[in-house]
Amino acid sequence: MISPRLQLTGITKRYPGVVANSDVSLRLMPGQTHAVLGENGAGKSTLMKIIYGSVKPDAGQMMINGQPIHIRNPKEARANGISMVFQHFNLFDTMTVAENVWLGLNRNSLEQVTASIIGKASEYGLDIDPTRPVHTLSVGEMQRVEIIRALLTRPEVLILDEPTSVLTPQAVEKLFVVLKKLASEGCSILYISHKLHEIRELCNACTVLRGGKVTGVCDPSQESNASLSRMMIGAEPPQLTHQATQPGAPVLRVRALSLAREDQFGVDLQGITLDVCAGEVVGIAGVSGNGQKELLYALSGEDTRASTGSIRMAEVDVAGLHPGARRKLGLHFVPEERLGRGAVPTLGLAHNLLLTRNESISHPGFAGGWIRIRRLEAHAADIIRRFNVKAGGPRAAAKSLSGGNLQKFLVGREIDAKPTLFIVSQPTWGVDVGAAAQIRGEILALRDAGCAVLVVSEELEELFEVSDRLHVIAQGRLSPSMPIAQATVEKIGEWMSGLWDTAGAQHAEA
């Protein structure tokens, strides 16, 4: 009889005020691709960190190849053939890609590791320059580094926490080829994803968690998206209603926006022209690292180098205005980096409201204004309730929330401000199906209320659900827009390579 590659029995982990894992058991067989499914905060990431040695359980037993084992840290996990790709990246910003990978391998010279990175990147279609400092990478490029680093350890157990959240459909297909090949060679894979179609295609076993407990085990290939949703959240996610509307006047107008990159690994913006009207959602698709970051910096006001008149809100030239001034005109922005830009990790949720809102400060225009704590906490509590954020209350530190719950709070914070222009990057990255449906529904509700919405996302399914028109950004250039009714995955995939035909695209837009 074949022993499980990995077996967990009675794993329990408690934190103050919450039980993350309660008596969890799981069996992972050799060559099996096993999904761990659950809504945000269900305990999936905690369980994976226990397996990887970065979190110690309070109770329970772990066995590898039939032998009991206590893994005290990630180094011991890697020594026992376990590698993990985290949802929140473990990379040193000031070091290069190669140096980050080299740190975790404990063998070979930096030159050999650099050559290995280039080889793996080419083999698996995860191209990355090993000499680039990590702080110059986009989120999608950081994801590629993590995946390559894990593959270079030749793992027997590979843990993937939302590995495709910032990959294009083409890159996902290539990754699946890699994972299926690894499984056929005997590697066991633990796969966390909120994309149910991915789980059904890739995985041959599934353990479902709800509230930290195992609520079901199944073969996902024999299930439907609806049945998996019911196992995970107790219901099917609500269906979005996306009705055609007549857009109003332009709220955001970008004309011939060109900006030189600020660092050598950035992307030059070249002649960007874009309109977003009241009562419409405009989507921007593209492979990570093609100018999304630079464009969003220019639109949000973090980069004020744009030439006079190149960015307007209604009739106001905002090209030189900082973010605070643009917020006063009704622009609210949700960045893709939740911790560090979207929220201060160590501050409570209530105090994080102050990053973009000042209604709870007495005399905010004067130095030394007082913070009205009760009003601030009541406001945060209302957002927590409205957007179903699982948190320990308004005072809970931002870093204590799961990625999906923090995203719900940040989106809620900006939607609650009743913007006239709402710009959001990767709105449902790492968010479970129920929460994703809620966020997308809120975006459509904003549109129906007359707000102009710009969504930058690498999730084509998401863009097809919420957008009225689509652009593609590639190599710092923006394609003409295409009505969503005429867009196809194949066409958008072609445009992601910068290969749009101007005449054909203009015909599509007409």
For 323-343, the pLDDT digits (tens) are 999 999 999 999 988 888 899
Domain boundaries, position 326: 250-509
Tens of pLDDT along 270-299?
999 999 999 999 999 998 789 999 999 999
Q: Say whether 116 sits in a helix, a strand or coil.
A: helix
Q: Where are the alpha helices (DSSP H) in 282-417?
A: 292-300, 323-328, 349-352, 373-386, 403-415
pLDDT at residue 422 greater than cutoff 90: yes
- Distance CA(247)–CA(259), nearest Å, equals 29
Query: What's CA 371's distance to the chain center, in Å?
Result: 32
CA dihedral (274, 280, 281, 286) positive or negative: negative
Look at the chain and report how many structural domains it folds into.
2
Residue 437 lies in a domain: yes
If asked whether residues 181 and 274 sit together in one domain, one would say no
Q: What is the mean pLDDT of the chain?
A: 88
If asked whether residues 133 and 267 sit together in one domain, one would say no
- Distance CA(407)–CA(342), nearest Å, equals 9
Q: So what's the pLDDT on residue 506?
A: 45
pLDDT at residue 444 greater than cutoff 90: yes
Q: Which residues are within 8 A (CB) of 19 and not within 5 positions of it... i.e. 6 or more apart?
A: 12, 13, 212
Residue 219: pLDDT band with limits 50, 70, 90: very high
Q: Which two tokens stand for residue 368?
A: 């030394």
Q: So what's the pLDDT on residue 267?
A: 93
Answer with the one of 201, 233, 265 that is the final residue of a domain. Answer: 233
If asked whether residues 386 and 460 sit together in one domain, one would say yes
Residue 390 lies in a domain: yes
361 versus 255: the higher-pLDDT residue is: 255
If asked whether residues 349 and 393 sit together in one domain, one would say yes
Q: Which two tokens stand for residue 359?
A: 């209604």
Q: How many CB atoms lie within 10 A of CB 485?
A: 8
Q: Which two tokens stand for residue 445?
A: 């509700």
Mean of pLDDT values over 385-401: 91
Residue 450 lies in a domain: yes
If asked whether residues 175 and 258 sit together in one domain, one would say no
CATH number at residue 89: 3.40.50.300
DSSP label at residue 195? -
CA distances to 95, 106, 445, 467 from 451, rounded to whole Å, are: 41, 53, 9, 13
Tens of pLDDT along 64-101?
999 999 999 998 999 999 999 877 778 898 999 999 99
Residue 245 lies in a domain: no
Answer with the one of 168, 202, 233 that is the final residue of a domain. Answer: 233
Q: So what's the pLDDT on residue 144?
A: 83
Mean of pLDDT values over 36-41: 86
| 8 A C-beta contact, residue 350 and residue 439 | no
Which residue reads 């400092």 in tokens?
133
Residue 244 lies in a domain: no
Q: Which two tokens stand for residue 384?
A: 């927590």
Q: So what's the pLDDT on residue 362?
A: 56
If asked whether residues 321 and 259 sit together in one domain, one would say yes
- Distance CA(53)–CA(61), nearest Å, equals 13
Residue 238 lies in a domain: no
Q: So what's the pLDDT on residue 47?
A: 95
Residue 239 lies in a domain: no
| 8 A C-beta contact, residue 405 and residue 381 | no
502 versus 332: the higher-pLDDT residue is: 332
Q: What percent of the chain has pLDDT over 90?
A: 57
Q: What percent of the chain has pLDDT over 70?
A: 93
If asked whether residues 209 and 312 sit together in one domain, one would say no
Q: Say whether 373 sits in a helix, a strand or coil.
A: helix
Q: Say whether 251 sits in a helix, a strand or coil.
A: strand
| 8 A C-beta contact, residue 496 and residue 470 | no
Q: So what's the pLDDT on residue 503?
A: 41
Sheet containing strand 188-192, strands side by side? 82-85, 157-161, 188-192, 33-37, 205-210, 213-218
Residue 365: pLDDT band with limits 50, 70, 90: low
Q: Say whether 215 sits in a helix, a strand or coil.
A: strand
If asked whether residues 288 and 386 sit together in one domain, one would say yes
Q: What is the largest CA-CA distance in the chain?
A: 74
| 8 A C-beta contact, residue 207 and residue 4 | no
Strands 188-192, 157-161: pairing kind:
parallel
| 8 A C-beta contact, residue 282 and residue 467 | yes
pLDDT at residue 109 greater than cutoff 50: yes
Q: Say whether 220 sits in a helix, a strand or coil.
A: helix
Mean pLDDT check: name the lowest of 159-173, 206-220, 413-427, 481-495: 159-173
Residue 359: pLDDT band with limits 50, 70, 90: low
Q: So what's the pLDDT on residue 299?
A: 98
pLDDT at residue 405 greater than cutoff 60: yes
- Distance CA(345)–CA(401), nearest Å, equals 10
pLDDT at residue 415 greater than cutoff 90: yes
If asked whether residues 76 and 186 sit together in one domain, one would say yes
Does the pTM exceed 0.75?
no
Residue 301: pLDDT band with limits 50, 70, 90: very high
pLDDT at residue 451 greater than cutoff 70: yes
Q: Which residues are within 8 A (CB) of 79 and not within 5 positions of it... i.e. 6 or more apart?
A: none
Q: Which residues are within 8 A (CB) of 266 and not within 5 positions of it... i.e. 6 or more apart?
A: 136, 293, 294
Q: So what's the pLDDT on residue 504?
A: 47
If asked whether residues 385 and 297 sit together in one domain, one would say yes
Tell me the HSE value of 258 on the side-chain side, using a 13 A CA sphere: 3
Mean of pLDDT values over 225-240: 78
321: nearest Cα among 333, 334, 309: 309
Strands 157-161, 477-478: pairing kind:
unpaired
If asked whether residues 201 and 342 sit together in one domain, one would say no
Residue 156 lies in a domain: yes
Answer with the one of 233, 262, 283 that is the final residue of a domain. Answer: 233
Q: So what's the pLDDT on residue 505?
A: 45
Residue 360: pLDDT band with limits 50, 70, 90: low
If asked whether residues 277 and 225 sit together in one domain, one would say no
DSSP label at residue 339? B
